[in-house]
Chains A and B, each alone.
Chain A
Amino acid sequence: MTLRRLGLVAVVAALLAPTLVACGGGSGSSSDNTLTYWASNQGTSLDHDRQVLQPQLDKFTKQTGIKVKLEVIGWPDLLNRILAAAASGKGPDVLNIGNTWSPSLQATGALLPFDDATLATVGGKSRFLPGSMAATGAPGKPPTAVPLYSLAYGLYYNKKLFAAAGITEPPKTWAELVDVGKKLTRSGQWGLVVEGGNPTENAHHAFTFGQQYGADAFDASGKPRFDSPGMVAGVKRYVGFMANDKIVNPSAAEYAKNESLADFASGKAAMLLWQAADTSLQSHGMSPDDYAVAPVPFEQPTPPGGKKVNSMVAGINLAVFANTKHKDAALSFVKFMTSDEEQLALNKTYRSMPTVESAYSDPAFQTPQVKVFRETLATSAAPLPAVPEEAQFETLVGAVVKDLFADAASGKPITDDAIKSKLTAANQQVHAGG
C-alpha cells in the first residue's frame, strides 16, 4: 500500500519537476551587471574569434568593472538567433549584425536607435567613416547601429601567374579582365573564380554589376525593380564570365563553402573578387607575397545611367538590443569597441578596415592593399539598398544568379530573356510579401 502510494507520488513529482525547474530558472539571470555580447564570426573559426576577443573583453572589464559574457555565433545562425531574440524580447545586450541587415532590423524596433544624443556618448557621428555610417539604417531615421569593421570588395590577383603569362598590370575594365582571364585560362587553371552557389556572394555582385549598368534594385518609392534592363545586363556580364567568356571553371557554379578561396590560393584560378581574404588565403597556405589587390574593374565605356560603383559597403555593425537592462553599460562597451585602440587591435587581426577615421594614421593601415580598400570605401562603394525588403533582394536575386550559374555550367545559353524571366519571378515574390 505505501509502496503504491509512494510510486504515485513519485510519478506526479517527476511529471511536475520540469515545470518547477523551468519556473525557477527564469528569475536567476540578468541580476548582476554582466553584459551579454553576441559576436559574429570574423576569424578563421569560432574558436579563433573567442581567442581574439576574450583578451579585449578582459581589458574592458578591468577598465570599467563591467563583465562581458561572450558568445560567438556563426553566420548561418546569427540572423535566426537575432530574429528569435527580437520576437521573444530576450536577447543579448550588445550584438554584431551584418551591415546589410541594418534597415530590416531597424524596422523591427528591436535595436536601440542611436539618436544624436546617444551617438554623442560614443564619440559622435563624425567620428565614423561616412561610407560605413551610410550602412547603419534607412536614410532619414536614427541609425540603430554603429559600424564596427568595414570591408570592401577588391580584385585579388596572383602575381606569379600574371608574371608567367606576361601580364604586367591588373585589369581596370571588365573587357580587360576578360582578355587577361583568357590568357590565364589553360589546362587545370582558370582566369577567374566565383562562388557561384552562394546566394549572398551572388547578390552582392548582382548589386555592384547592376549599379555599373545603372540599375537600382529598388526605386525611389521602395518598390523592387529586380528585372530592370540594367540589372539584366549586369547579371549577364557577371554570369557571362562563365557562360560566354569561359574564363571561370564551370565547377564554380556549385561553390558555396569558400571553395573559391582554396582555388585561388592553390593557383587553380588567377583572379578572385573578394573582401578581407588575407587570413583565409594564408590559412590555405598562400604566401602574402604571391598576390596583390587591385580595385574591382568598371564597365568601359560607362553604360547609360551607369554609376561609378565597384563594391558594396560591406562590414559589420555593432548594435544594442532595445530591451537591454544595462543600457549605459552597453553604450560604454560600444564606445570601447569603437575606440582607436580597439579598432586597431581588432581590425589588424581580422584584416578588415577600421570604421573610424583616426585609426588610419597607424602604419599597419598604410599598406598598398589597405589603400585600395580605403580608396574604394571613400569614393566608389555604395551601401546595399537601405529598405526593409533588402534581405529579400539578397535571398531572391542571389538564388536567381545561382540558378543561372547552374544553367551556364550545364551548357545552357544565358540569354537576356532567360535572365529577365527569372528576375521577374523573383520580383513577384517580393510583391507577394508586401
Chain B
Amino acid sequence: MAQLTTTATSGVRGPRRPDTPARAGRPRSRRRTLTPYLMLLPALLLELLVHLVPMLGGVWMSLLGLTQFFIRNWTAAPFVGLRNYRLVVNVNNAAGADLLHSFAVTLAFTVASVGLAWLLGVTAAVLTQNRFRGRGLLRTLFLTPYALPTYAAVITWSFLLQRDAGMVNHVLVDQLGLAQDRPFWLIGNNSFVALLVVSVWRTWPFAFLCLTAGLQNVPQELYEAAAMDGGGFWRQLRHITLPMLRPVNQVLVLVLFLWTFNDFNTPFVLFGRAAPRAADLISIHIYQSSFVTWNFGLGSAMSVLLLLFLLVVTAVYLAAPSYWARSRRRSDA
C-alpha cells in the first residue's frame, strides 16, 4: 500500500516540471502501467478466494468417495481417482444413462428457452423503439416478471398450472374448450412445455431490457437514409437494426444460455425435488445425486463435467466470431 501511494504521488508531481518533459514522462507511463493493476489486485484476490478456491475444492471432491460417512471430516474421505467420472459417463448403468438423458433435456430446454426469450425481447424492443403514447407504461409492464422474486413468481405459476384448480386449465378447457380432458402440466410430458413457458416468461424481460438499451445506440440517421432509399421496415430490421445489435446480442445470448442452462430455482419451485423425467434439468439432477442421496463425490463429478461443457461452449462461442472475421479478411486479401 505504501508503494501504491508513492507511485501515485510521484505521478502527480510529474506534470509540475514542464522543463523536463522526457523524465516526467517515464514515471507517468510506469504509473499508467502499474497503478490499474495494483488497484485491481484486491478484487482479483477476492475473486480467487470467492470463486476459484471453491471451484478447485469441487474438483478435488469429485475425486473422493465423499458420502455421509465423511462429510464431517472430508479430508478423511477415500481417494477414488476417476471412479466417480467413470460411473457418470457410463451410459450403460442407470446413473450414467439418467445423466445423459438429463443433459439432453437441459440442452433442448435451454436452446428453446433462449431462442424464444430472444425473439420476444427483440420483437418488443423494436416495437417500442419509436415514441408513442403509453410507451413507458408498456415497457414497465414488460419488465415486471424480471422484477418479481423468483420464488414468489414461480410458486404462483405452479398454482396456475394445477390440473383441477389451476387457471391455465380453466381457460384452456372450460372457457376455450380446446381439450376434452384436463391436461396435467406439472407431471408427465407436458411438464417440459410448462417449464419452458415459465422460464421464457422469467427471462425475456432481461433480453428486452438489453436490446432496448442497445437500440438507443443505433443512429436515427441510418433509418432516415434507408427510408430515403426506399427501404421498408423489414429491410431496415435486417440491414440496420440487427447488425447494429450484434455486440449486444453476442453477450446477451451467452448470458441467457448460461443462466438458463444452470437454472435451479425455476424447476425446483415448480416440481419439487423429484422433477418429472421430461423436465429433469441437470441442476436438479445433480442436486438429487448429491444432496438428497448424500453422495457429494458423485455430484461433484457431474458438476465438474457440466463446468467443462459450459467452458467449452463459452470459449467456442467467444472465439468463433473473431475467427470468422479473420478468415474472411484472409480470403478477401
Contacts and interface: CB of A to CB of B under 8 A. Distances in A.
B and A form one assembly: yes
Interface of A: 1, 4-5, 8-9, 11-12, 15-16, 79-80, 83, 86-87, 89, 104-105, 107-110, 197-199, 249-251, 253-254, 256, 388, 391-392, 395-396, 398-399, 402-403, 405-407, 409-410, 425-426, 428-429, 431-433
B34 interface: no
B9 A5 contact: yes
A108 B293 contact: no
29 contacts: A1-B9, A4-B8, A5-B9, A8-B4, A8-B39, A80-B291, A87-B71, A104-B294, A108-B71, A198-B272, A199-B273, A199-B274, A250-B163, A253-B184, A388-B68, A392-B294, A395-B273, A395-B288, A396-B293, A407-B188, A409-B188, A425-B94, A428-B93, A428-B95, A429-B94, A429-B95, A433-B67, A433-B294, A433-B295
B174 interface: no
Nearest to A403: B277
B293 A8 contact: no
B292 interface: yes
Interface in B157-199: 162-164, 182, 184, 186-188
Nearest to B293: A392
B293 A86 contact: no
- Counting from the closest, the 9 A-B pairs by CB-CB distance are A428-B94, A432-B95, A399-B274, A406-B187, A15-B42, A433-B295, A425-B94, A199-B274, A251-B164
A15 B47 CA distance: 12
B87 A432 contact: yes
A395 B293 contact: yes
Interface string B35-77: 0000100110010000000000000000000011101111000
Nearest to B41: A15
Given A251-B164, A410-B184, A107 B42 contact: no
A388 B163 contact: no
Main secondary structure of the interface of A (DSSP, over half): helix
A109 B293 contact: no
Contact of A87 (B69, B74, B182): B74
Contact of B292 (A250, A391, A409): A391
A108 B4 contact: no
B5 interface: yes
B214 to A, nearest CB: 31
Given A83-B291, A197-B272, A104 B162 contact: no
- Residue of A5, A108, A432 most packed against chain B (CB within 10 A): A432
B27 interface: no
B287 to A, nearest CB: 10
A1 B292 contact: no
A4 B188 contact: no
Contacts of A4: 8, 12
A249 B154 CA distance: 25
Contacts of B186: 197, 254
Given A406-B276, A428-B93, 10 more contacts: A79-B291, A87-B74, A199-B273, A249-B164, A256-B272, A388-B69, A392-B294, A395-B293, A410-B184, A428-B94
A391 B67 CA distance: 12
Contacts of B273: 199, 395
B184 A108 contact: no
A254 B182 CA distance: 13
Nearest to A427: B94
B74 A406 contact: no
A356 B215 CA distance: 71
Contact of B72 (A108, A197, A198): A108
B298 interface: yes
B39 A11 contact: yes
B225 to A, nearest CB: 45
A15 B292 CA distance: 37
